[in-house]
Structure 1
Amino acid sequence: MRPTVPRVLAVVLALLLGGYVFVVGPHLAGEPDRRRAAAIDAALPPTHPVHRDGQDSRDGQDSRDGRDGRATFPAPGDAFVGIMTDAGVHDLTEAARFTRATGHLPQVYEFSLDWASDTFDAGPVDDVARRGMMPLLAWEPWDHRAEPDEERLRGVQPRYRLSRIIDGAFDPYIRAWAKGVASLGHPVGIRFAHEMNGYWYPWCEEANGNRPGEYVRAWRHVHRLFEQAGADNAVWVWSPNVHYENATPFEELYPGDAYVDWVGLSGYYGTVGLESYQSFDRIFTASERRLRRLTAKPLVITEVGATDAAGRKAEWITDMFRSLPRHPGIIGVIWYEAVRVIDWRVTTSAASVRAFAAGVSAPRYRTPWSPGAVPRARP
């Protein structure tokens, strides 16, 4: 076939098109992911390689033995400041944005996974740890994808009744997680079935056909399976909502000190129906006192946030950091850096960012976390 100008042009065009489809196109398609990964690495650089043998690579010490003089986390008198995001371990973009804005690396990174769709995967959990953040799993025995819009119906999922957990229906799943956690070279917080004193989850005793006493039995059953798997690096965080009228009393739900390492509380300024301004002390003090009648375990504010609907988020954040030193039993605070009905994120306004950056800059909030640190056992 004799080459002609049209034929040559057609060949050149085909080569260019092929190059775009097989080389340039895929590169451009992956460019947003590469940029996001680069931004995350810049804000949250990996600094702590972790091993599968339970050792922190920095000191070679067994991370499950606190008798070797290693640092306690957080240090006595200090408190950590962590965050929780919607994307969790699947995407650290929000954590990177928060860190860039406030200048604070969260020492604890909380994330939710549910029993219907999430199997154990060490990779993302290790990724959090190697970036200097203790992983804290809000472990939810339900199918969050089936969550209805009506709050009163959120707790209706018969498959996940407490009695089924107690009777062993989920034992293979729990054992798989226990074995996986035991294989990690660092502590992992397990915030199992949180806010159990309410009515809005299938594991609440007020919901889903559950009966009094079943929550404690379910907690102890799950805890025993982790013990049997050798997962003594699990840090058990029992975390009710702040007490409110008609809530199930803490006293009826606490599994006992032998089954709990840290206790927690969830509380917000500005939830639907409670939009009037409430200070940090007003939200948490009464519940903290109620907890102290049960246990002296260290307390973590496992979820907290503030609305800016009235333009007072920055004021509330300043008040929170002013109040925290008056609560020496609180060893950590985890800000809900996410949108759920309300945008709770610190990064929604420059004023909120300034207030948070100023508060968290105090020396008592600077204790670093590392894979070899020993979780604090006393307030």
Structure 2
Amino acid sequence: MVAVALTAGGLTARLIESPHRFPVPHDGKTYFGVQMDSQFDTVAGYASRLGSTPALYGRYVDFPWDTTEEGAISQEVQELADHHSSLMLTLEPRKDLAAVTPEALTALSRTLTAWNRKGVPVMVRFAHEMNGSWYPWSQQPAAYIEKFRQVAAAVHKAPSSAMLWSPNEGAGYPYEGGPYEASPGSADFQAVDTNHDGKLTSKDDPYAPYWPGDDAVDWVGLTVYHFGKAYPWGENTVPERGKLVAKITGTFKSAYTNDTDVPDFYKEYADGHKMPFAISETGSFYNTSRSDGATELAIKEAWWNQLFDPGLQRRFPRLKMALWFEYSKTENQPGNPVVDWRTTVTPQIRDPFTRAIPDRFIMAPVR
């Protein structure tokens, strides 16, 4: 493979020549992105609050989508083109994996090509957190891999689109009690029972059963959050020192988990498969219904300091993308609290956050 220069959507970066075209930052650089709540926010609005335009905006979409949703995304893509930014498109087969049909995939290729030709590279994250137990596509490794590979083939027909494989970080696996756990005795259960002891526990590999293959994956990533120190989540607590690194490497231990068998995701998949690594979505839990515990600033600042720590880039040189989860939403926790993950809404949080973003985190140029 040959390293070539690419300028796409205003992003100038080193790209490894391949059929799968999404620019990769130079060594020591990482894209800064945002998972934005498009129901309540806009590309320009977020950029105005932040003071610059992120390199990527994330959007979650039911797949296959209908014409109304496709039109809404296309409108946002035009905004991204105007701001010289890019799109992380999280495709969620909320009905079931079988809904991903050849017709839907043909339409996906056609639409991605049109968006790419507007100057907007697209990172496609299909059926994220597939190792969890909370989505209709969860813990179905054979069907998931089949559909991921089909989506990848469609995505790779577009000139500036790539595939991101993105499980949930493995602490707490197999996330017992979720509505979509693999059923004991099923073929899916046998596939995820990686140590073949007849049980699905933290001793089973949370990643390997879901790997779609090097030819279908362009980037690897993880969902990594600070939810708190003890399940069930609810208390506002400051993240433990080194927690972000420990979750990526599988060494995190806390009051609610003593997992010792979680693989080092970065070593196994970023280094092991020589792929760029993304923190696909991240943030720090702040329960708006509680007035006790740590302050919002203390919680969020402790987490973004770990994300922006120069030691993180040295520890993970393949880290090329990180997206903050800019949502305030009701979480499925006891009491259904509204958790505010955002960093740009109030000056008390926004000002220290924007000051903390280091120069090595790449933004798109604002116009």
Common fold: TM-score over 0.5: yes
Q: From the superposition, tell whether residues 103 and 367 of structure 1 become closer, same or farther in structure 2 (CA, over 3 Å).
A: closer
Select which of 290, 294, 302 maps to 2:265: 290
CA offsets 1:36-59 (integer angstroms, 9 cap, x no match): xxxxxxxxxxxxxxxxxx996989
Paired residues for 1:301-312 under 5 Å: 301-309=279-287, 310-311=294-295, 312=298
Structure 2 letter corresponding to 1:273 = P
| 2:59 paired with 1:111 | yes
Residue 366 of structure 1: aligned partner: 362
Structure 1 letter corresponding to 2:167 = P
Superposition deviation, residue 117 in structure 1: 4.5
Residue 41 of structure 1: aligned partner: none
Structure 1 Cα separation of the partners of residues 22 and 173 of structure 2? 42
| 2:85 paired with 1:133 | yes
Superposition deviation, residue 92 in structure 1: 4.5
**What is the number of equivalent residue pairs in this alignment?**
281
Residue 39 of structure 1: aligned partner: none
SS at match of 2:232: coil
Residue 240 of structure 1: aligned partner: 167
- TM-score, normalised via structure 2 length: 0.67
CA offsets 1:104-146 (integer angstroms, 9 cap, x no match): 321110001102554444443232133121111011111xxxx
Residue 106 of structure 2: aligned partner: 175
Which structure has the highest strand share of the two?
2
SS at match of 2:360: helix
Question: RMSD across aligned C-alpha pairs, in angstroms?
Answer: 3.4
* 347-356 or 109-118, which deviates more: 347-356
Select which of 309, 312, 324 maps to 1:324: 312
Structure 2 letter corresponding to 1:314 = E
Where structure 1 has 5 or more consecutive residues not aligned to the other structure, the ranges are: 1-53, 143-156, 371-379
Structure 1 Cα separation of the partners of residues 123 and 266 of structure 2? 20
Q: Which has the higher contact order (CA 8 A, sep 6+)?
A: 1
Structure 2 Cα separation of the partners of residues 344 and 336 of structure 1? 6
SS at match of 1:258: coil
SS at match of 1:259: coil
Structure 1 Cα separation of the partners of residues 31 and 10 of structure 2? 21
Q: From the superposition, tell whether residues 118 and 301 of structure 1 become closer, same or farther in structure 2 (CA, over 3 Å).
A: farther
Residue 32 of structure 2: aligned partner: 81
Contact 1:132 1:368 in 2 (8 A): yes
CA offsets 1:208-229 (integer angstroms, 9 cap, x no match): xx4x4221111112222344xx
Q: From the superposition, tell whether residues 194 and 182 of structure 1 become closer, same or farther in structure 2 (CA, over 3 Å).
A: same
Structure 2 Cα separation of the partners of residues 181 and 131 of structure 1? 18
Structure 1 letter corresponding to 2:209 = E
SS at match of 2:215: helix
Q: From the superposition, tell whether residues 252 and 130 of structure 1 become closer, same or farther in structure 2 (CA, over 3 Å).
A: same
Contact 2:89 2:123 in 1 (8 A): yes
Structure 2 Cα separation of the partners of residues 111 and 57 of structure 1? 17
Where structure 2 has 5 or more consecutive residues not aligned to the other structure, the ranges are: 1-5, 175-191, 193-205, 251-261, 288-293, 331-338
Structure 2 Cα separation of the partners of residues 74 and 366 of structure 1? 8
Contact 2:222 2:278 in 1 (8 A): yes
| 2:277 paired with 1:299 | yes
Residue 344 of structure 2: aligned partner: 347
SS at match of 2:350: helix
Q: From the superposition, tell whether residues 318 and 291 of structure 1 become closer, same or farther in structure 2 (CA, over 3 Å).
A: closer
Structure exhibiting the larger radius of gyration computed from Cα positions: 1
| 2:127 paired with 1:196 | no
* 293-302 or 321-330, which deviates more: 321-330
CA offsets 1:202-249 (integer angstroms, 9 cap, x no match): 1112xxxx4x4221111112222344xx32422101111111333362
SS at match of 1:346: coil
Q: From the superposition, tell whether residues 192 and 292 of structure 1 become closer, same or farther in structure 2 (CA, over 3 Å).
A: same
Which structure has the highest helix share of the two?
1
Superposition deviation, residue 333 in structure 1: 0.8
Superposition deviation, residue 327 in structure 1: 2.5
Contact 2:328 2:342 in 1 (8 A): yes
- TM-score, normalised via structure 1 length: 0.65
SS at match of 2:322: strand
Superposition deviation, residue 367 in structure 1: 5.3
SS at match of 1:282: helix
Structure 1 letter corresponding to 2:277 = L
Structure 1 Cα separation of the partners of residues 349 and 211 of structure 2? 35
Q: From the superposition, tell whether residues 260 and 116 of structure 1 become closer, same or farther in structure 2 (CA, over 3 Å).
A: closer
Q: From the superposition, tell whether residues 349 and 141 of structure 1 become closer, same or farther in structure 2 (CA, over 3 Å).
A: same
